[in-house]
Amino acid sequence: MTYPSDRDRVSMTETGTTLLQAALRYAELGYPVFPCVPGGKAPATPHGFLDATTDASQIEAWWTARPDANIGMPTAGLLVVDVDGADNPWPGEDLEGIGDCPLSMTPRGGRHYIFRQPAGKSWSSTAGRLAPKVDTRANGGYIVLPPSVVGGKPYRWVRALEVGPADQPEAPAWLGSRVEGGADLFAQGPGGPAEDRPVAAQGPPVAPQCAPAAAGGNVIPAGHRNATLARLGGAMRRVGMSQEEILAALVRANLDRCSPPLKDREVQRIATSIARYEPDQVAVAVVEDHWRQDNPGATEPEDSGPEMPDPGPLPVDLLRIPGFVSEVMDYCLETAPYPNSSMAFAGALALLATLAGRKVRDPGDNRTNVYILGLAHSSAGKDRPRKINAEILHTLGMSGQIGGRFASGEGLQDALFTEPAMLFQTDEIDGMLQSINKARDARYESIMETLLTMYSSANSIFPMRRKAGRDAPGAIDQPCLVVFGTAIPNHYYEALSERMLTNGFFARMIVLECGSRSTGREPRLLPLPERVLETAQWWADFRAGTGNLENWHPVPRVVPHTDQATDVLVETRLEAEAEYAKAEAADDSVGTTVWGRVSEHARKLALIYAVSENHERPEIGKTAASWASRLILHQTKRMLFMAQSHVADNPFHAECLRFLQKLRAAPDRALPHGVLLKRMKTDAKSFSGLVTTLEQRGDIVVQVQATSGRTGRIYRLAGSSSDATKGGG
């Protein structure tokens, strides 16, 4: 059997139809729809496919809020044959009654044949009953419809839905008889292993047949942990247990039976996925393997590779670029009571980004707006760069372009409406993040939303909210918001949440760590350097574009790339895309979010390098591009390592991370029992639970050491150089 090629098929996306338009069209035909997460198959509504509707106003509200949401459709009353794999021969040439039904192609080359269930029938979904890798979706299931996109590839119609459910072709008799009768092909062959049969048909959960139980109990080996815990969770949900109850039981089962245990985050994800379904629907969800549908391409992603290595702090040679930035840095270091190169560099970079805001751009229309965060402990030199920036801008008569703390998103918009290029300098930014995490006040949510959208609006128009008494809400033309924030390192990472790691806020930051405080010295009173003031004044006087509108609607000067610079930036983009693909395959949402911004960051920094080096005739050369690429690639890896090792999902996870941090900071990455117990400042029972969890997860090694007739324990970070005597004694 042959199918149209990609060139012959025409999808709704290719004909210009948006996801909203497609969803409304399906609803008009009588098919209830619901949104799925952008780029995935997981429902984006609280009750999954149970929230599906044909109500146009609800559909418009869903897709207006998330225009890139995929389209899900429940299959109740239908029979959808789901053929997995482009090379799967089903149904073969000798079977009849297939050709007239709607048919869509999935992103991986599979096929969805859509039929109506005959009158009087009430079919449930099956797995492998028709043939190897051929499942069905019926009552209690759902599918994703074109033009949805998963893994960057769209679903496509071969024969589209053109009529309502009642007018669809009825499933042929031979197909119905196979759906109703016959054993599922589970026990062997490509149809699927025995552990994939429906929960309702299995009785009490048992260990997979291919993994014999150990003498001490039913061990769940790597490769089967996600599926087995999902089935256990499904059995609990079927009898009405809540998400919290399911999670508690799965955490215990994970520690007791999984070898090695899954990460805490993975167990929580399974419990959340299972709890989305009503008790009478969960059996279908488990047999259809909805956990894997929610995480396409992922098979136990925590086993996909080693954890992100620590690249260490930024090399000091990257904290210098020629011209204006270095001149401001030099003045800062000469006058600071505690000179700090990282903080001086961050401050000077933020100052130039503000001065050049709305005045220059690169050939890709990247602007100088950056969010820079300097991490340093108290009294380590965070204040001096802020004061210098304020003094320079005040001397230029630009005091109105500098701000302090964020009071609200609306206040931030109002400030930029008055001064479209602004530098906000805020100390202890972690306090704002903590407020966003803990407070229910919409004011804090509006700050985050404004920071996210303003960053992406630098080369466009930002529409403001409508205010009472105003005919028009107003707009900000090409806003340039530069943020120079400072925070104490551990406070910043503890303030981050999973949502901030994945909503783009973390990825938009350029985080510079300042290390240990330098040796203090007597303060020096020096005037601002004439060359710094001359260059800053040049920027203040420079107007991009021509005519009367240059202040309101500037046309920024394009700073060109050399061919060599272009090659470097393309290589950086390709490297970031490769890392993005790895993170995507591992279902690492933090990794995809951060790597997705790397190319943009590199181009912004290369532009700032060029205008620092020569503000009158800037050009982005190979040196600028190479510096920007090195800095961003190193900083991205460092940010991912710090997020992985410091940002907790829950209080217990936070204690686990703190335990590991104590070992990382210790000589040889190891500490005796008594010393670590004191440093953790916790009780012995809680400490013992941490040790048990981390040892079973493979994060630490417990060694026994005999000294002076006594036996003591040493805890060592797994993989450290002295790990040869694992378990010792």
Query: Looking at residue 474, what is its pLDDT?
Result: 77
Q: How far apart are CA 278 and CA 439, in angstroms?
A: 31
Residue 85 has pLDDT above 60, yes or no: yes
Residue 586 near residue 301, CB atoms below 8 Å: yes
Give the pLDDT band (50/70/90) at residue 184: very low
Per-residue pLDDT tens digits for 648-685 = 666 777 788 788 888 888 888 889 988 998 888 888 88
Contacts of residue 479, defined as CB under 8 A and 6 or more positions apart, other chains included, come to 369, 416, 420, 421, 454, 457, 458, 462
CB atoms within 10 A of CB 154: 20
Q: Tell me the pLDDT tens digit for each residue of 564-580.
A: 999 999 999 999 999 88
Instruction: Give the pLDDT confidence score for residue 545 in this predicted structure.
Output: 67
If phi > 0 it is left, if psi is from -120 to 50 it is alpha, else beta; for residue 305 that is left
Given a cut of 90, is residue 353 above it in pLDDT? Answer: yes
Position 13 scores a pLDDT of: 40
Can you list the pairs that 89-95 forms with residues at least 24 positions away whose Cβ atoms lie under 8 Å? 89/1, 90/130, 90/131, 90/134, 91/1, 92/1, 93/1, 95/174
Could you tell me which residues come within 8 angstroms of residue 124 by beta carbon, excluding any fewer than 6 positions away?
Answer: 138, 139, 140, 284
pLDDT for position 443? 62
Round to whole Å and give the CA distance between 149 and 36: 10
Query: What type of residue is 534?
Result: E
**Tokens read off for 273:** 């996925």
Instruction: Output the pLDDT for position 361.
Output: 95
Greatest CA separation found in the chain?
A: 93
Average pLDDT over residues 517-534: 88
Pair of tokens at residue 620: 């982005």
Give the model confidence (pLDDT) of 243-285 as tens digits: 887 888 888 888 877 877 887 777 888 888 787 777 656 555 5
User: pLDDT at residue 59 above 60?
Assistant: yes
Nearest to 292 by CA among 209, 225, 211: 225
428, 431, 433, 434 alpha-carbon torsion, rounded to 10°:
150
Indicate the range of 137-146, 307-316, 541-550 predicted with least confidence: 541-550
Dihedral sign from CA coordinates of 591, 595, 596, 601: positive
CB atoms within 10 A of CB 108: 13
The enclosing H or E element of 714 equals strand 710-717
- Supply the pLDDT for residue 301: 42
pLDDT of residue 134 exceeding 50, the answer is: yes
DSSP letters for 459-516: TSEEEPPP-TT-SS--EEES-EEEEEEEE-HHHHHHH--HHHHHSSHHHHEEEEE--S
47 vs 595, residue with greater confidence: 595
Q: Which domains does the chain have, with CATH numbers?
A: 19-180 (3.30.2250), 193-303 (no CATH), 328-645 (3.40.50), 651-725 (1.10.10.10)
Q: What is the pTM of this model?
A: 0.56
- For the record, the structure tokens of 302 come out as 């925590």
- Residues 158 and 104 sit within 8 Å (Cβ to Cβ): yes
- Six-digit token string for 36: 């799925």
Query: What is the radius of gyration, based on Cα positions, of the chain?
Result: 30
Average confidence (pLDDT) over 84-95? 74
Lowest mean pLDDT among 169-183, 339-353, 478-492: 169-183
Residue 598 has pLDDT above 90, yes or no: yes
Among 53, 43, 181, 48, residue whose Cα is nearest residue 123: 181
Q: Which residue has the higher pLDDT, 537 or 699?
A: 537
On whether the CB atoms of residues 195 and 209 are closer than 8 A, the answer is: yes
Would the pLDDT of 210 be above 50? no
Helix (H, G, I), strand (E, B) or coil at 533: helix
Instruction: Assess whether pLDDT exceeds 50 at residue 288.
Output: no
Work out the number of other CB atoms within 10 angstroms of the CB of residue 510.
22
Taking each helix axis as running N to C, give the angle between helix 341-355 and helix 383-395, from 0 to 180 degrees, rounded to the nearest 10.
30
pLDDT of residue 631: 96
Q: How far is CA 75 from CA 78, 96, 121, 276, 367, in A?
A: 5, 23, 14, 17, 47
Q: Flag the least confident range among 239-243, 416-420, 610-614.
A: 239-243
Stretch among 26-35, 75-84, 289-298, 563-572 having the lowest mean pLDDT: 289-298
Taking alpha carbons only, the member of 699, 700, 698 closest to residue 713 is 700
Interval 368-401: pLDDT, tens: 999 999 888 888 878 899 999 999 999 999 999 9
Burial class (CB in 10 A: 0-12, 13-18, 19+), 599: buried
pLDDT for 296 equals 44
pLDDT confidence of residue 382: 84
Query: Among residues of the chain, what percentage have pLDDT more than 90?
Result: 33
CA distance 610 to 659: 44
Statement: residue 332 has pLDDT above 90:
yes
| Per-residue model confidence as pLDDT tens digits over 35-44 | 998 888 878 8
| HSE, side-chain direction, 13 A CA sphere, residue 320 | 7
Residues listed for the chain: 729
Beta strands in 313-442 (DSSP E): 360-361, 371-375, 402-403, 421-426
Task: Look over the chain and give the mean of its residue pLDDT values, rounded to a whole number.
Answer: 79
Q: Which residues contact 710 (CB under 8 A, 6 or more apart)?
A: none
| Contact present, 171 and 137 (Cβ < 8 Å) | no
> How would DSSP label each residue in 78-121?
EEEEEE-STT--TT-TT--S-TTS-EEE-TTS-EEEEEEPPTT-
Q: Can you give the pLDDT at residue 283?
A: 54
Q: b vs e for 469-505, b when ≥16 Cβ sit within 10 Å of the residue's Cβ?
A: eeeeeeebbbbbbbbbbbbbbebbbbbbbeebbbbbb
Task: Give yes or no for residue 585 having a pLDDT over 90.
Answer: no
Contact criterion met (CB below 8 Å) for 607 and 559: yes
How far apart are the C-alpha atoms of 291 and 287, rounded to whole Å? 10
CA distance 138 to 253: 32
Distance CA 228, CA 230 (A): 5
Instruction: Choose the weakest-confidence range: 62-66, 497-501, 581-585.
Output: 497-501
pLDDT band for 470, please (50, 70, 90 cuts): low
Residue type, 61: A
Closest residue by Cα to residue 628 from 576, 677, 675: 576
